[in-house]
Amino acid sequence: MVVHIEYRTRAMELPLFRKKYQDREKFIACCRECPHYGELWSCPPLPFDADTFLASYAWANLLCAQIRLDEETIRAADTEEKIKATGWEIVSKAKLDIEERMKILETRMPGSRSLSSGGCGLCETCARKENLPCRRPEEMRYSMDAFGLDLTTITKDVFHIDILWCRDRLPEYFTLIHGLLAKEPVPGTLWESAGLSRNV
C-alpha cells in the first residue's frame, strides 16, 4: 500500500475563523445524528463550555493533510468490505501520526492546544460509553467537529480542495483537517520541524 501525504498550513485569527466557519447549532445537530453521539469524550456534547475554552486562544493554525493513494491500492480494494477496511486503515494511521506531530508543536508553542480530525481512537472502547472518566486525558485531543466547525467549507475555501468520499471504489485522496489553537501563528520553520510543512 503506497500513500503520499501532502500538507498545507494556514493561520487565521480565531475571531474571524469562528465567524466564517463555526455554526454550532447546525453542525452539532449533524453530530446528534451519529450513532455514537455522546459515547466519546473527544466529541459532542463537550463536557465544558466551548466558548470559555476557545477564549484562551487568539489564532487558529490549520493543517490540511491530503492523503494520496496509489492506483494499485485503489484497484486492490475491489469489494465493499475491502474499501471500508483499507480506507479506515489509511486514514486512522495518518490521523494518529499527525496527532503526534501536532503534540510536538504544542510543546514548542507554550499555551497551545491541538484539535484532531474526528473522534479519539486511543482506546478500543471509549470510557464515556460506561460513564467513566477519560482513561488518557493527557493524550486525547478534542475533535474539530466538536466545536461545530464547517470542515467541508474550510477544506474548500481555505485549502482549495474538494472532499472525496468512498463510493464504489477508494477515492484518489482523503483529506484531514487538524488545528492548533495558540496565542500566535505557528512559524513556517516550526511546521517544518514537525514534518508538517507544505510539500506540494
Binding site for ligand SF4 (CB under 6 A): 40-42, 120, 122-123, 126-128, 134-136, 140
Is residue 77 a contact partner of residue 169, using CB atoms and an 8 Å limit? yes
Pick the closer one to ligand SF4 by CB: 32 or 136: 136
Rounded least distance, CB 143 to ligand SF4, Å: 10
Shortest Å, Cβ 91 to ligand SF4: 16
Instruction: Write down the least CB distance from residue 118 to ligand SF4, Å.
Output: 12
Least distance in angstroms from the C-beta of 94 to ligand SF4: 18
Cβ closer to ligand SF4: 52 or 125? 125
C-beta of residue 140 within 8 angstroms of C-beta of residue 133? no
How far apart CA 50 and CA 152 sit, in angstroms, is 21
Closest approach of ligand SF4 to the CB of residue 189, in Å = 31
Task: Specify the residue, 147 or 173, whose C-beta has the smaller distance to ligand SF4.
Answer: 147
Q: Closer to ligand SF4 at the Cβ: 99 or 154? A: 99
For ligand SF4, the closer of residues 81 and 130 by Cβ is 130
Cell of 45: 456534547
